Amino acid sequence: MPAIAMALRKQRIYTRYKPEPAKTPQRRSDWKALLLLLFVVMGVAWWAAVQGKLVLPSALQQFVQVARQPAADPKTEIEAPAPKPISGFDFGTLPVPPPPLNTTLPAPLPPPAAVEEVPIPPSFEIEQPAPPAKSAYEAVTDPDASDKSGPAEPFRPRSAWTTFEVQVALARQVISPGILDGLAGPQTTAAIKAFQKREGLEPTGQPDARTKSLLLLNLQPFTSYVVKSNDFAVLRKTGRTWVAKSDQDLLGYETILEMVAEKSHSYTRFIEQLNPKVNWRQVAAGTRVKVPLVQYPEPSEKAAFIRISLTNRVLQAFGASSNLLAHFPCSIGAKVEKRPVGELKVLNIADAPNYTFDPEIFPESEEARRLGTKLTINPGPNNPVGTAWIGLDKPGYGIHGTPLPEKIGRTESHGCFRLANWDATHLLKLVTKEMPVHVEP
C-alpha cells in the first residue's frame, strides 16, 4: 500500500506540473518589407525625374526644376552685373550737368483750419481701497513712520478703516469708545451703537460698511507731541496713604508716559507700542512722540439733561431737541443699595477740585478707621476725583474724573459715577446747575 500511494502521488505531481508544449512562433508580417520597397521605388522615380529620364505631370515639374538647379555656395560673392552704358555719352570724359534750379516759389499753403477747443473734464478722486486686515496693534500705524525722511503727503479725508480709526472718528464726535487702544471691546461696541442710533441706523454695534462710510476722518489719525521742559515740573510721585496724599502740594502725573497717554485719551501700553524706540524711563525735553490726534470740539449748545444707564454703564448728555451731545462710559457703585436710581439734579460744579477724605465713607480702610478725621487733598489729575466734579443733590454723590481711566466701566466706586478725566472735563462745559439727571436701572 505505501508503494501504491507513493506512485499515485508521483502521478499527481507529474500531472499537475506537466510542461506545456512549446508555442510555435508566429509568422512575422511583411508590412515593413513592403514599406521599404515603396521608399526604394519612390527614390528611383525621383532620381529619374531629376535626370530628365521620366516625364512627370505639369503640377510636379516645378519641384523637379528647383531640384535641378545647383546649390549656391555661401562662400562666393554674388557680383552685380555691370550697368549698360547709355548711347551718346561717355561718362569717363564728360561731366554730368546738374539739374536746373527751380526759381519759382510754390504756392502758399492755406491757413490751418481752426481747431475746436474741447473742455477738460473736471478731475475726480478715486476711492482708496481698504488695506488688508492686520492684528490689533499692527493695523494701527507704522511705528517708524515718523522716522522716515521726505515730505509727508497731504492727508485726504476718508472713512475709517481700522478699529483704531473707528475709535478716533467716534471720539472726535464726543462719542467716547473709552480709552484708545485699537482693540474692539464692549465700550467701543456701545459707542458704535450710540452713533448708529443717532444716524438712524440699526444699532448693531458692529462697524459695518455703512457705519464706516459715515465715520469720516477729516484729519490724520496721528500727530506728534514734543515733550517740554515744564512738563517735568508737574510730575509728582503719588503717596500711597491718605496722609501722604494730603501732604502733597499737587496730585500731578507720575510719569511723562502717563501724561502723554492722558492728553491723547490713550492707554499707556498703546503709546509704548506706537513709540518702541523711546526710553520712557529717561525721557528728555525735546523728545518727539507719536500720539493719536483726538480733541473734543467746543460744544455748540448746553445740555438739557443727562441720562445714566446703570445696566450699560453709560452716561449720555442730550440737547434741547433730545439730540445726543456726548456719550461717555462710566463706572457705578459697587453695592446695589448705594446706586441712586431715579431723578437727580446738578447741585454744584468744580474744575480741578480739592477732595475731602471722610473716613466714614471708607470703613474697609484700616487707615481710615485709625485716623478718625477728615483730610483735604489738593487738586491734580491723580486726585481721587480727578480733574472735575459735578455734585448731585443727593449728599455724597456726584459725577467726577478718576486717576485710573483704564478701569472705567470695569471696577465699581462707592456710589459716584466715574468718568475718564478728559470726559469729565468736557462734561463741565455741557452741564448747568439744576439740570436734571435721569438714572436708569
pLDDT in tens, 283-323: 999 999 999 999 999 999 999 999 999 999 999 999 999 99
Look up the CATH number of the domain holding residue 331: 2.40.440.10
pLDDT at residue number 188: 97
Query: Is 332's pLDDT higher than 80?
Result: yes
Q: Is residue 416 part of a domain?
A: yes
**pLDDT bucket at 264, cuts 50 / 70 / 90:** very high
In this structure, the answer to whether residues 287 and 396 fall within a common structural domain is no
In this structure, the answer to whether residues 309 and 288 fall within a common structural domain is no
In this structure, the answer to whether residues 200 and 286 fall within a common structural domain is yes
- Position with higher pLDDT, 373 vs 82: 373
In this structure, the answer to whether residues 248 and 346 fall within a common structural domain is no
Among 253, 270, 292, identify where a domain stops: 292
Q: How many distinct structural domains can be found in the chain?
A: 2
In this structure, the answer to whether residues 400 and 339 fall within a common structural domain is yes
**pLDDT bucket at 114, cuts 50 / 70 / 90:** very low
In this structure, the answer to whether residues 320 and 406 fall within a common structural domain is yes
Query: Is 236's pLDDT higher than 70?
Result: yes
Which residue type, as a one-letter code, is found at position 98?
P
Q: Is residue 412 part of a domain?
A: yes
In this structure, the answer to whether residues 315 and 436 fall within a common structural domain is yes
Q: Is residue 317 part of a domain?
A: yes
In this structure, the answer to whether residues 217 and 322 fall within a common structural domain is no
Cα–Cα distance, 111 to 115 (Å, whole number): 12
Q: Is residue 13 part of a domain?
A: no
| Residue found under cell 474744575 | 351
Q: Which domain holds residue 402?
A: 305-352+387-440
**pLDDT bucket at 9, cuts 50 / 70 / 90:** low
pLDDT at residue number 372: 84
Cα–Cα distance, 258 to 250 (Å, whole number): 16
- Position with higher pLDDT, 107 vs 183: 183
In this structure, the answer to whether residues 285 and 194 fall within a common structural domain is yes
Using alpha carbons, select from 437, 440, 362 the residue that is nearest to residue 394: 437
Q: Is pTM, for the whole model, over 0.85?
A: no
- Position with higher pLDDT, 130 vs 27: 27
Query: Is 367's pLDDT higher than 60?
Result: yes
In this structure, the answer to whether residues 266 and 324 fall within a common structural domain is no
Q: What is the mean pLDDT of residues 4-16?
A: 60
Q: Is residue 186 part of a domain?
A: yes
- Work out the burial of residue 402: count CB atoms within 10 Å of its CB; fewer than 13 is exposed, 13-18 middle, 19 or more buried: buried
Q: Is residue 207 part of a domain?
A: yes
SS3 of the chain: the string is CHHHHHHHHHHHHHHHCCCCCCCCCCCCCCHHHHHHHHHHHHHHHHHHHHCCCCCCCHHHHHHHHHHHCCCCCCCCCCCCCCCCCCCCCCCCCCCCCCCCCCCCCCCCCCCCCCCCCCCCCCCCCCCCCCCCCCCCCCCCCCCCHHHCCCCCCCCCCEECCCHHHHHHHHHCCCECCCCECCCCCHHHHHHHHHHHHHCCCCCCCCCCHHHHHHCEECCCCEEEEECCHHHHHHCCCCCCCHHHHHCCCCCCCCCHHHHHHHHCCECHHHHHHHCCCCCHHHCCCCCEEEEECCCCCCCCCCCCEEEEECCCCEEEEECCCCCEEEEEECECECCHHHCCCEEEEEEEEEECCCEEECHHHCCCCHHHHHHCCCEEECCCCCCCCCCEEEEECCCCCEEECCCCHHHCCCCCECCCEECCHHHHHHHHCCCCCCCEEEEEC
Q: What are phi and psi of 116, to 5 degrees?
A: -70, 125
Q: Is residue 368 part of a domain?
A: no
What mean pLDDT value characterizes the chain? 79
Q: Is residue 253 part of a domain?
A: yes
Using alpha carbons, select from 354, 376, 358, 352 the residue that is nearest to residue 424: 352
In this structure, the answer to whether residues 310 and 434 fall within a common structural domain is yes
C-alpha R_g of the chain: 49
Find out whether 161 and 220 touch, Cβ atoms under 8 Å. Answer: no
Q: Residue 132: CA atoms inside 13 Å, Cβ hemisphere, count?
A: 1
Q: Does the CA dihedral 157-161-164-168 come out positive or negative?
A: positive
In this structure, the answer to whether residues 222 and 315 fall within a common structural domain is no
